[in-house]
A and B are shown apart, each in its own frame.
Chain A
Amino acid sequence: MIKVCVLRIEGTNCEEETALAFARLGASTELVHLKQLTGAVKERDRRNLADYDLLVIPGGFSAGDYVRAGAIFAARLKGALSAELSEFVSEGKPILGICNGFQVLVELGLLPGNGDNRYAALTTNSSAHFECRPTLLKHENRGNCIFTKGIPRGAILKMPCAHAEGNFFIANEEYIQRLEDNDQIVFRYVDPAGNYASYPWNPNGSVYNIAAICNPEGNILGMMPHPERAFYSFTDHEWWRAGGKRGRGGEVGTYGDGKKLFESIMDHLRSHIYML
């Protein structure tokens, strides 16, 4: 059975629904406090990162996000779990960071990767405040990202975002080309017509409308929008416009676009683990 570790510390707050999303698809999912991985708890509560097939850093405000979003969580991971994390990544095991998790992965230097994180940051939204709104994401990965292999290139997925610091910032525009060349760009914000558009379609002012990127190896994905909030279609108010359950104006089903991402991850994990 696929074992998913959803990591929590004080202030992570999307862990339960994220864990549920994997559990609904048959994963063995566990909410694990960082202290359980670093050994700072009683024997019976200790866990080993190497025992899991997927590490998820969920959304929230880890440690209050007081220094910078994700900075404290990242510092603690670096301080106490550096070796285990490196080993996990070098084995090709996947790490998913959602929202605050994306911010943590950037702070850790795992994203954009290449051992070079001086050029990228997730900075304050261009609106200068928190933005909770639906977003449309165009899938642009050419096959490098293991998380989205099951999603057709060019497909547009709808998922909500909710963050104050999601503005993907890059110091040097040439770096975008490197992301493109390495096939690291996964999702970009678009408008309903599928065009790269500005606010509010790009909710935070991200350069190149970037919503999600992976590392060059494709096994670490960070994304600002929340797929776990779009697992079912009925958390999307436009479902009622499409007729909802009663099917007036077209049958749209019970599941939302977020589920497609989780399924794609699970499909990859299943095939990968069976190959081992």
Chain B
Amino acid sequence: MVDRIELRGAKDEELVRISTIMGLALNLEEMKKIQNYFKSIDREPTDVELQSIAQAWSEHCCYKSSKPVLKRFIFGIKAPQCIDVIEEDAGVVALDGEFAYVVAFESHNHPSTIEPYGGAATGIGGIVRDVICMGAQPVALIDPLFFAPLDYPYERLPADVKHPRFLFNGVVSGISDYGNRIGIPTCAGMVYFHDRYAGNCVVNVGCVGVMKRKDLRRSSARAGDVLVLAGGKTGRDGIHGVTFASGVLKESEEYRSAVQLGDPITKEPLMHAILECNDQGLIDGMKDLGGGGLSCAVSEMCYSGGCGAEIHLERVKLKESGLHAWEIWISESQERFLLSVTPDKVDSLLTIFDKWDVDATVIGDAVSGSHIRLYYHDELVFDLDVAFVLDTPVYERPKAIPNVESEESDMDEPDSYDEILKMLLASPNIASRESIIRRYDHEVRAATVLKPLQGIMGKETHADATVLKPLESSFKGIAITADVNPAYCELNPFWGAASAIDEACRNLTAVGAVPHSFADCLNFGNPEKPQCMGEFYECCRGLGYMASSIGVPFVSGNVSFYNESEALGVSIPPTPAILGIGICDDIRECVTVDVKAASNPLYVVGTTKRELGGSAYYRLRGEKCGIVPRTDPQVLKVRMAALRDAMAAHMVASCHDISDGGLAVAVCEMLIGGDLGADIDISDLNTGSESGRLRSDYKLFSESNTRWVVEVWRDVRTNFEKLMHDRGIVISAIGYTKGERMITMRDGAKKLVELPLEELSTVWRAGIA
């Protein structure tokens, strides 16, 4: 069952061949390093050992291409709320003196492209485990999804490449079936369409959990602890998942075995059992089994705890007989945790698992020293120093800083603003997501206060952020949003990424929350290509610039490279998805997006510039150039604070951030949710230095950052204006809501739009089905 590989005498081409045949995804240089190690200890490696090293050294597990960049820009933003960030499976952040919240955010792109239903489901499974293994109860799931357009022409897809509609349906069903079954609300996310996701969709999954700070468990073992494997059985599903994810995507059914099989009804009681054990203080340390399976979990727990381990692989419960030792060791079968437990608590722990009918098996011990030894039916099949296994390669990859942004040509002003507005509202990146949102249980646990759809019952519109009230004893709220605009990042990765942070902050502020932490899921192409590495570098620089300037830390994240379809020869656009977490001191003070009453004044907060590169309007009109929106973190800070103060003073009836489709679309979305009309005049819109010279279509559809539309209660409008004026905040009065369900927009004497609300809401609601 165990092979010895003749490595020490192998020539270069033989080393490469070994890597390929065994599916190690290691390059020659890495193979040579391994060869030298085994020369130094004077023996040949077993297949278990080589496979194990390949897991640990994969891009997916060790971040060998991304780490130097992450260290420079993303890690280390200091903030007092950080308890345990970046280093573990999930970031732990203080909610108050007694409680903490936990954030994790990951990609599941390659599996979802091969097998969308299972890929999306196991993506949730994995992220939920990351949160549980800190000792927290998961309370929210977040799913940003990126596909090629659903009407993508079949004839443009090679035979092996699955159509985006198939992927979309599968992913949404996978999330719905798995997320709903485990009883964690899926309460935020995004769905974005772009041609370059053909052949490689992007499925990111985030999870937020809540715990008592005293229940925090680290992913480390201590010598003397017993190691318990709990949860599902181990099988051949998910072999080589991480090495598969660390190469360019070859679309083929051959790789289906790299996709794990999820089982929510093992996960659900497993979650209860673990949290019950942790609550009773029975767990010393724990780690979920994700990429690399047992091999990574054991190595990392030992390394972190400064100990070694002795494991008996035959004790691992299997789904099927005949697995090789190396397969047991690296299988990524789902729903499993590794627990380190002091010997006196093992019986109590196993009793709880028994009550929940969940398997839990003692598979070995943590021992002093730094060696991990594996026995398979008494044969020693693995004996390596954990320090070597985790001495992972790091690369400073060459990068080319891309610059595709350019001044646009002057296109004609549209003949019919009515038609343009309707086309924007119907466009796939703006149209209603209701048909998806309703398929996710977004309020199980009964703590979802502001839901992803808000407004009059039956007329609901998109929310800016979802708000949870996680604690029975407190009105404190956690606001959640997920944002990125890949079309900006494609033109200008630095400002595109900066815009994602700006948008996350806008969305959190729009409901009245204070931005508190970020998680990043960075999805890019092949890092061995300087162009992709350059995009990655610039995006990280943009994220770091914004987050550090406003003092909000990144607490968790994930990098997914090699998002390229070999068959199509394209990589995805740079996709640094941001999960923004905000805190509301009292959820009863939150603000929703739907307009509340007729005759209330509407304002735009912020300056509207000619920043339409990558905008929904330019994409609609086929304009590929243009300047993407810039942002200034200091201005963002001041505007957020002023807006929150206006909300605290009960001046704000509703609020919506301005993003895709500009202010015209933002106003329509607010009106749809409140079922009211409005008269809008943009002649006095503040356009900064371009004062008075900006064309009407640019005013209406610009996507300049750091802007909101605010509905102010009419009796306090002067107070609002004074507050904003005193703070030096730019605001422009743009009109009033009205009971008559008509929307008119004009620029002084020039009439632009005159449409019944019904007509706009109908095209918007036609959605993306």
Q: Give residues in A with beta carbon < 8 Å to B.
A: 10-11, 13-14, 16-17, 20, 33, 35-36, 41-42, 45, 59-61, 63-66, 129-134, 136, 158, 160, 162, 164, 191-192, 200-201, 226, 228-229, 231, 234-235, 237-238, 240-241, 244-246, 248-249
Q: How far is the CA of A134 from the CA of B181 in the complex (A)?
A: 20
For residue B437, which residues in chain A have a CB less than 8 angstroms away from its CB? 132
For residue A249, which residues in chain B have a CB less than 8 angstroms away from its CB? 596-597
Indicate which residue in A10, A66, A201, A231 contacts B268 across the interface (CB closer than 8 Å). Answer: A10
B402 within 8 A of A: no
Indicate which residue in A66, A201, A240, A245 contacts B592 across the interface (CB closer than 8 Å). Answer: A240
Number of interface residues of B (CB under 8 A): 52
* Least distance between B762 CB and chain A CB atoms (Å): 15
- State whether A45 touches B472 (Cβ < 8 A): no
Q: How far is the CA of A42 from the CA of B350 in the complex (A)?
A: 12
* Least distance between B651 CB and chain A CB atoms (Å): 11
- State whether B449 touches A244 (Cβ < 8 A): no
- Given known contacts A64-B181, A131-B438, A14 and B444 CB-to-CB distance under 8 angstroms: yes
* Least distance between B562 CB and chain A CB atoms (Å): 33
B441 within 8 A of A: yes
- Given known contacts A10-B357, A13-B183, A64-B264, A235 and B449 CB-to-CB distance under 8 angstroms: yes
Q: How far is the CA of A130 from the CA of B175 in the complex (A)?
A: 11
Q: How far is the CA of A164 from the CA of B179 in the complex (A)?
A: 13
B208 within 8 A of A: no
Q: How far is the CA of A134 from the CA of B197 in the complex (A)?
A: 34
Q: How far is the CA of A134 from the CA of B443 in the complex (A)?
A: 10
Indicate which residue in B176, B590, B674 contacts A129 across the interface (CB closer than 8 Å). Answer: B176
The proximity string for B residues 579-612 relative to A, scoring 1 for CB distances below 8 Å and 0 otherwise, is 0000000011111101011000000000000000
B713 within 8 A of A: yes
Most buried by A among B268, B357, B441, B653: B441
B252 within 8 A of A: no
- Given known contacts A10-B265, A64-B181, A160-B443, A237 and B650 CB-to-CB distance under 8 angstroms: no
B218 within 8 A of A: no
User: A45-B355, A229-B444 given. 16 additional CB < 8 A pairs?
Assistant: A11-B265, A20-B446, A20-B472, A33-B355, A35-B357, A61-B180, A61-B183, A131-B438, A133-B438, A162-B180, A226-B446, A240-B592, A246-B650, A248-B596, A248-B713, A249-B596
- Chain A minimum-CB-distance residue to B469: A234
* Least distance between A47 CB and chain B CB atoms (Å): 12
B380 within 8 A of A: no
* Least distance between A36 CB and chain B CB atoms (Å): 8
For residue A237, which residues in chain B have a CB less than 8 angstroms away from its CB? 450-451, 453-455, 460, 592
B457 within 8 A of A: yes
For residue B354, which residues in chain A have a CB less than 8 angstroms away from its CB? 41
B interface, over-half SS: loop
- State whether B443 touches A244 (Cβ < 8 A): no
The proximity string for B residues 432-463 relative to A, scoring 1 for CB distances below 8 Å and 0 otherwise, is 00000111111111111111011111101000
- State whether A162 touches B592 (Cβ < 8 A): no
For residue B444, which residues in chain A have a CB less than 8 angstroms away from its CB? 13-14, 59, 162, 229
For residue B713, which residues in chain A have a CB less than 8 angstroms away from its CB? 248
Q: How far is the CA of A245 from the CA of B447 in the complex (A)?
A: 17
- State whether B457 touches A192 (Cβ < 8 A): yes
Q: How far is the CA of A134 from the CA of B454 in the complex (A)?
A: 11
Indicate which residue in A192, A200, A235, A248 contacts B446 across the interface (CB closer than 8 Å). Answer: A235
- State whether B446 touches A61 (Cβ < 8 A): no
Q: How far is the CA of A158 from the CA of B268 in the complex (A)?
A: 29
* Least distance between A212 CB and chain B CB atoms (Å): 18
- State whether A42 touches B351 (Cβ < 8 A): yes
- State whether A132 touches B441 (Cβ < 8 A): yes
- State whether B265 touches A61 (Cβ < 8 A): yes
14 contacts between A and B (CB under 8 A): A10-B357, A13-B181, A13-B183, A14-B444, A42-B351, A64-B264, A66-B265, A160-B443, A231-B446, A237-B450, A238-B456, A240-B590, A245-B589, A248-B713
* Least distance between A128 CB and chain B CB atoms (Å): 11
B269 within 8 A of A: yes
B356 within 8 A of A: yes
- Chain B minimum-CB-distance residue to A162: B441
Of residues 712 through 769 on chain B, the ones whose CB sits less than 8 Å from some CB of chain A are 713
Q: How far is the CA of A191 from the CA of B455 in the complex (A)?
A: 16
- Chain A minimum-CB-distance residue to B441: A162
B430 within 8 A of A: no
Q: Give residues in B with beta carbon < 8 Å to A.
A: 176, 180-183, 264-266, 268-269, 351, 354-357, 437-451, 453-458, 460, 469, 472, 587-592, 594, 596-597, 650, 653, 674, 713
For residue A13, which residues in chain B have a CB less than 8 angstroms away from its CB? 181-183, 268, 444
Q: How far is the CA of A192 from the CA of B675 in the complex (A)?
A: 14
- State whether A132 touches B454 (Cβ < 8 A): no
- State whether A11 touches B439 (Cβ < 8 A): no
* Least distance between A46 CB and chain B CB atoms (Å): 11
* Least distance between B585 CB and chain A CB atoms (Å): 13
For residue B265, which residues in chain A have a CB less than 8 angstroms away from its CB? 10-11, 61, 63-64, 66
Q: How far is the CA of A240 from the CA of B281 in the complex (A)?
A: 41
- State whether B445 touches A241 (Cβ < 8 A): no
Q: How far is the CA of A226 from the CA of B448 in the complex (A)?
A: 13
For residue A241, which residues in chain B have a CB less than 8 angstroms away from its CB? 455-456, 592, 594, 596, 674
Q: How far is the CA of A192 from the CA of B597 in the complex (A)?
A: 19
Q: How far is the CA of A246 from the CA of B586 in the complex (A)?
A: 12
- State whether B264 touches A134 (Cβ < 8 A): no
Q: How far is the CA of A64 from the CA of B444 in the complex (A)?
A: 16
Q: How far is the CA of A61 from the CA of B457 in the complex (A)?
A: 27
* Least distance between B354 CB and chain A CB atoms (Å): 8
Q: How far is the CA of A246 from the CA of B596 in the complex (A)?
A: 14
Q: How far is the CA of A63 from the CA of B264 in the complex (A)?
A: 9
Q: How far is the CA of A102 from the CA of B588 in the complex (A)?
A: 32
- State whether A132 touches B442 (Cβ < 8 A): yes
For residue B653, which residues in chain A have a CB less than 8 angstroms away from its CB? 248
Q: How far is the CA of A234 from the CA of B590 in the complex (A)?
A: 10
- State whether B180 touches A234 (Cβ < 8 A): no
For residue B441, which residues in chain A have a CB less than 8 angstroms away from its CB? 130, 132, 162
For residue A133, which residues in chain B have a CB less than 8 angstroms away from its CB? 438
- Chain B minimum-CB-distance residue to A64: B265
* Least distance between B748 CB and chain A CB atoms (Å): 33
- State whether B589 touches A134 (Cβ < 8 A): no
* Least distance between B538 CB and chain A CB atoms (Å): 39
For residue B458, which residues in chain A have a CB less than 8 angstroms away from its CB? 191-192, 200-201
Q: How far is the CA of A74 from the CA of B3 in the complex (A)?
A: 50
- State whether A16 touches B445 (Cβ < 8 A): yes
For residue A245, which residues in chain B have a CB less than 8 angstroms away from its CB? 588-589
- Chain B minimum-CB-distance residue to A42: B351
For residue A45, which residues in chain B have a CB less than 8 angstroms away from its CB? 355
- Chain B minimum-CB-distance residue to A242: B596
- State whether B457 touches A41 (Cβ < 8 A): no
- State whether A229 touches B438 (Cβ < 8 A): no
Indicate which residue in A20, A36, A65, A132 contacts B440 across the interface (CB closer than 8 Å). Answer: A132
For residue B456, which residues in chain A have a CB less than 8 angstroms away from its CB? 238, 241
Most buried by A among B439, B444, B454, B674: B444
Q: How far is the CA of A42 from the CA of B446 in the complex (A)?
A: 32
Q: How far is the CA of A130 from the CA of B186 in the complex (A)?
A: 13
Q: How far is the CA of A231 from the CA of B443 in the complex (A)?
A: 13
Q: How far is the CA of A256 from the CA of B592 in the complex (A)?
A: 18
Q: How far is the CA of A244 from the CA of B587 in the complex (A)?
A: 10
For residue B356, which residues in chain A have a CB less than 8 angstroms away from its CB? 10, 33
Q: How far is the CA of A231 from the CA of B454 in the complex (A)?
A: 19
For residue B589, which residues in chain A have a CB less than 8 angstroms away from its CB? 245
- State whether B181 touches A61 (Cβ < 8 A): yes
- Chain A minimum-CB-distance residue to B442: A132
* Least distance between A91 CB and chain B CB atoms (Å): 28
Q: How far is the CA of A94 from the CA of B684 in the complex (A)?
A: 65
- State whether B449 touches A134 (Cβ < 8 A): no
- Chain A minimum-CB-distance residue to B446: A17
Q: How far is the CA of A213 from the CA of B647 in the complex (A)?
A: 44
- Chain A minimum-CB-distance residue to B270: A10
* Least distance between A131 CB and chain B CB atoms (Å): 6
Indicate which residue in A11, A14, A246 contacts B181 across the interface (CB closer than 8 Å). Answer: A11
